[in-house]
């Protein structure tokens, strides 16, 4: 089912800041949308409003074509999975999954069919007769998914369901949620503060900060075309290099003066004008290290090297600034070495320092 949030506002009486600030959003039927943002940005509150567990101060929630704003949670056909799922310890895995169906007073055969189908989809079919005490954290999380699935929700809400799992299991479960989504076609809203998890899962990423939606786009859009400084800094690991500067004339075009470094600006930034205070950024993946400098390259000295498997992150000091570059692990480098930085201009970004907004032309 399609989910539409229309001008949602929520402020907790005990809190001075707004948890959800005029949020407008459309999640298409069958889409996997990810809410991404730092702790406290309003992700859980927005989810709880969709689920009907929290009442907005103003605004509307539509599921399908229906305005559900005043509808009780149980009548919304949404299922919510939380970070810390607990099973009923005295029950078997089977009984845990069957529980919501027993409440609905379905026949034994029908319950059996639905439990097995849901368990099979999340890969816990072989655990059904186990006691809840005998399953691992990852298995418990799958049981949680199966238990919410048997209610046949039209919308799945998952609030950081993987964050209590260890790194390896988290990546495995990510794949399974993606498969679950493909096989059921159910609309899923998934919350995380982990940008890598968001990028790997989402059809659509909703970047939030301080109750505001900062950008909505595909993983590629928010990575390659961040619309403001917040999104540019929050999305991508390692973080984008970003420095303050001023736009200046340069020949027939423009350059950015980063106090000690002058860089010609490509024509992609029609919003830039002479004298404007800006923030200039480049992703570490778009910084190359070259031995022989050409005009436009920036000389610097290697200060620190971090090995990261197939890649290495190299920190280079240039004109009092520290740049990070992500390069191939086999590229020979050593601390103290003099190098030149070369920026792939497709990976560079420019923002108005006052508004924080991107000066790049929209793609």
Ligand X SMILES: Nc1ncnc2c1ncn2[C@@H]1O[C@H](COP(=O)(O)OP(=O)(O)O)[C@@H](O)[C@H]1O
Residues that bind ligand X in the complex, under the rule CB under 6 A: 12, 14-15, 17, 19, 37, 39-45
CA–CA separation, 74 and 352 (whole Å)? 46
Minimum separation from the CB atom of position 177 to Mg ion (A): 18
Which residues share a beta bridge with 205? Answer: 34, 217
How far separated are the first and last CA of the chain, in Å rounded? Answer: 29
Q: Which does 17 bind (CB under 5 to 8 A by kind): Mg ion, ligand X, none?
A: ligand X
Do residues 149 and 99 make contact, with C-beta atoms less than 8 angstroms apart?
A: no
Question: Quick one: which segment of 38-46, 52-60, 115-123, 205-213 binds Mg ion (CB under 5 A)?
Answer: 38-46
Question: Quick one: which segment of 37-45, 121-129, 146-154, 308-316 binds Mg ion (CB under 5 A)?
Answer: 37-45
If the CB atoms of residues 42 and 138 are measured against ligand X, the closer one turns out to be 42
Chain centroid to CA 93 = 31
If the CB atoms of residues 37 and 217 are measured against ligand X, the closer one turns out to be 37
If the CB atoms of residues 3 and 150 are measured against ligand X, the closer one turns out to be 3
Q: Please identify which residue in 1, 5, 36, 44 interacts with Mg ion, judged by CB under 5 A.
A: 44
Minimum separation from the CB atom of position 210 to ligand X (A): 8
CA–CA separation, 211 and 337 (whole Å)? 45
If the CB atoms of residues 43 and 279 are measured against ligand X, the closer one turns out to be 43
CA–CA separation, 349 and 279 (whole Å)? 8
Minimum separation from the CB atom of position 350 to Mg ion (A): 33
CA–CA separation, 301 and 164 (whole Å)? 41
Which residues share a beta bridge with 361? Answer: none
Binding-site residue total for Mg ion (CB under 5 A)? 1
If the CB atoms of residues 83 and 313 are measured against Mg ion, the closer one turns out to be 83
Q: How many CA atoms lie within 13 Å of 91's alpha carbon, on the beta-carbon side?
A: 13
Residue 46 in contact with Mg ion, rule: CB under 5 A: no
Burial (CB < 10 A; 0-12, 13-18, 19+), residue 141, is buried
If the CB atoms of residues 18 and 333 are measured against ligand X, the closer one turns out to be 18
DSSP character for 184?
H
**Contact set with Mg ion (CB under 5 A):** 44
């Amino acid at each position: 089912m399609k989910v539409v949030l229309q001008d949602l506002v929520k402020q907790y009486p005990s809190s001075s800041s707004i948890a959800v600030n005029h949020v407008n959003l459309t999640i298409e039927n069958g889409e996997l949308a990810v809410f991404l943002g730092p702790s406290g940005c309003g992700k859980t509150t927005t989810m709880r409003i969709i689920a009907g567990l929290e009442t907005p101060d103003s605004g509307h929630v539509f599921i399908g074509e229906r305005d559900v704003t005043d509808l009780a949670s149980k009548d919304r056909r949404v299922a919510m999975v939380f970070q810390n799922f607990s099973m009923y310890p005295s029950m078997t895995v089977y009984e845990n999954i069957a529980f919501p169906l027993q409440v609905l007073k379905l026949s034994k055969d029908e319950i059996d069919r639905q439990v097995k189908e849901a368990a099979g989809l999340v890969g816990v079919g072989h655990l059904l007769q186990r006691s809840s005490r005998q399953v691992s954290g990852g298995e418990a999380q799958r049981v949680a998914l199966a238990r919410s699935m048997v209610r046949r929700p039209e919308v799945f809400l998952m609030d950081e369901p993987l964050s209590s799992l260890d790194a390896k299991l988290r990546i495995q479960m990510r794949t399974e949620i993606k498969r679950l989504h493909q096989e059921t076609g159910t609309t899923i809203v998934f919350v995380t503060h982990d940008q890598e998890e968001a990028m790997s899962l989402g059809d659509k990423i909703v970047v939030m900060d301080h109750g505001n939606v900062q950008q909505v786009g595909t993983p590629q859009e928010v990575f390659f075309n961040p619309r403001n400084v917040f999104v540019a800094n929050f999305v991508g690991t390692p973080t984008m290099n970003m420095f303050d500067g001023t736009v200046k004339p340069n020949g027939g075009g423009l350059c950015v003066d980063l106090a000690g470094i002058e860089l010609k600006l490509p024509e992609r930034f029609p919003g830039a004008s002479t004298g404007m205070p800006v923030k200039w950024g480049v992703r570490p993946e778009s910084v190359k290290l070259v031995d022989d400098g050409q005009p436009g390259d920036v000389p610097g000295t290697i200060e620190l090297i971090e090995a990261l498997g197939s890649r290495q992150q190299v920190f280079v000091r240039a004109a009092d600034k520290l740049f990070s570059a992500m390069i191939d692990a086999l590229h020979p480098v050593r601390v103290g070495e003099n190098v030149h930085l070369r920026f792939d201009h497709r990976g560079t970004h420019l923002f108005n320092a006052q508004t924080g907004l991107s000066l790049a032309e929209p793609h």
